Amino acid sequence: MQTYERKTPEDLDCGIIVFMKVLGGKWKPCIVDLIYNGITRPSEMHRQLPSATPRVIDMQLRELELHGLVCKTIQPGFPLRADYTLTKMGRDIMPIVTAMDIWGRNNGEYVKEVTQTTIPNKFSVTE
């Protein structure tokens, strides 16, 4: 497998950059929130996030595990079953994820309106 090599170093002394490295993926905050709310299996997460492919959910779960936010447990039996739980660090990040959710709910209508009116449709014909 080929890995991406950064051309410029990351400033891991900056707290915001560290935060974005750990939770900056498109679906990571949603995945953490689902686990916090009792959705522990990747198949359940995909049902809750149908826009995210199973591959992306798996990749982001691996990254969350690597960074210490989630812990994976393999359940015995056939077929094998993976369950995810939040670690202490994952639980510690929940106030931020909750604040993101509240902000999104409070500003969602405005964002929808602005997105629908200001982003031109690249397929529309203008004269």
Q: Is residue 126 part of a domain?
A: no
Residue 2: CB partners within 8 Å, gap ≥ 6? none
Query: So what's the pLDDT on residue 40?
Result: 94
Domain count, the chain: 1
User: Any idea what the CATH number is for the domain that residue 33 is in?
Assistant: 1.10.10.10
Would you state the pLDDT for residue 77? 85
Provide the pLDDT for residue 127. Answer: 47
Decide if 81 is inside a domain.
Answer: yes
> Is 5 domain-assigned?
no
Residues of the chain with pLDDT under 70: 1-6, 118-127
Q: Is residue 36 part of a domain?
A: yes
pLDDT tens digits along 36-50: 999 999 999 999 999
Task: Give the whole-angstrom CA distance, residue 38 versus residue 16.
Answer: 28
- Does some domain include residue 9? no
Let me know if residue 87 belongs to a domain. Answer: yes
**Which candidate, 78, 60, 55, places its Cα nearest to that of 21?**
60
Residue 35 within any structural domain of the chain = yes
3 lies in some domain: no
* Domain region containing 58: 15-117
